[in-house]
Amino acid sequence: MGPSEHKMPIPGNLLTTAMAVMPHKDVDRALEVALSTDIPFWPQLPHYNYYEDMYVQASEHFPGILLDMEKRTLRFSLEKFIAELEETMAHFDEPEYFDISDRYSVVYRRFLNLDLSDRPAIRGQLEGPISFGFNVVDQDDRPILFDDTVRPFMLEFMAKRVNVQLARLKKLNPNAFMFVDEPGLQFLFSAMAGYGDQAARGDMETFFSMIDRPRGVHLCGNPDWDFLLGLDLDVLSLDVYSNGEVFSSYASSIKRFLDRGGVIVWGIVPTNFEPFEQENVESLKKRLNEIWSVLEEKGIDREFLLSRSLLSPATCCLVNPDGEKTVDKAFRGILTLSAELREEYRLQ
């Protein structure tokens, strides 16, 4: 499908957004910080409650799940899966069954009740099937991703969850889009036992063919960029603070991705305490401009690139000694960085 066939509602011009996982325990404050970005999202707050963990959130209504709230563990039982599958299939045509309930998110419903119609776009997210399937293990400690019976079901189940959420968000703002969070993608290509490149490629392609547009992937690690940029995505969000040098060496894949309408979210302001303390707006601006210069030398027009670019903090971070303070500063930093770069490049 060429860019002319589906208009891309995802804005660029260095507007701001961010990853959804936040360290806050104060729900109002988390929402306020999320709403400070140009393209707001609903926060995921695992320190508030284990239901808010991104894997647990994605597991709601998934047959076979064993959730232990006290030990904070999420596991899978094939026996339970077989026992519960029929019940799940009975709900397969009910959209709300696949949405996120109040128990699994303290903030989603509140976000859906806001008036966000004047924003350039809004965004939601769900843990992706590869990471979910890699992270959740069965009674034999084997990831469910390797189970040929469970995997096809899981792809379809997660696709339904993404589509239902996107439909809800589009009612609030026609330019809504979704991140599929896939931190596990970086492990796929390290000869992972039981599930190889080709299977992963096929499954990801199948999964993306089942989910509505606009759709993208967010990840913090370093996957096979040629593979990821080659998927039929509308947006790619990455930690360019850590992976910029590697990423910029894939200029030809980046160019093809942009040419067919893709948008890149440059995760640039570190949220971890130590690196954050070592940087400032000037140093981060310099780092971004250096990456963009490398890509320009390789034939990617900078003006075009910026028209298809968003900015965000580099990663989410739950482990800082100062709780949410550095994360809050990183959000303020990305707003300043965006404002200065937009002025420098005279962007609308």
Does an H or E element contain 76, and which? Answer: strand 73-76
Joined tokens for residue 259: 């040419």
Single out the residue of 192, 207, 16, 250 nearest to residue 120, CA to CA: 16
For residue 241, give every residue at least 6 positions away whose Cβ sits within 8 Å of its Cβ, in sequence order, or none. 267, 268, 269, 270, 275, 284, 287, 314, 315
Single out the residue of 95, 113, 100 nearest to residue 44, CA to CA: 100
Joined tokens for residue 335: 């707003």
Neighbours of 126 (CB within 10 A): 25
Check: CB of residue 27 under 8 Å from CB of residue 321: no
Check: CB of residue 57 under 8 Å from CB of residue 51: yes
Give pLDDT, residue 194. 63
pLDDT, tens digit, 9 for 90 and up, residues 94-129? 999 999 999 999 999 999 999 999 999 999 999 999
Give pLDDT, residue 167. 97
Largest CA distance in the chain: 60
Pairing, β 73-76 against β 65-68: antiparallel
Give pLDDT, residue 3. 40
Q: CB under 8 Å, gap of 24 or more: what pairs does 40-44 form?
A: 40/111, 40/116, 40/119, 40/122, 40/123, 41/17, 41/111, 41/122, 41/123, 41/124, 41/125, 42/105, 42/107, 42/108, 42/110, 42/111, 42/112, 42/124, 43/107, 44/20, 44/105, 44/125
pLDDT < 50 regions, the chain: 1-6
In three-state secondary structure terms, 210 is helix
Residue ranges per structural domain of the chain: 15-344
In three-state secondary structure terms, 224 is coil
* 346 exposure class (CB count in 10 Å sphere: 0-12, 13-18, 19+): exposed
Please provide the CATH number assigned to the domain covering 15-344: 3.20.20
DSSP class of residue 94?
-
Check: CB of residue 177 under 8 Å from CB of residue 211: no
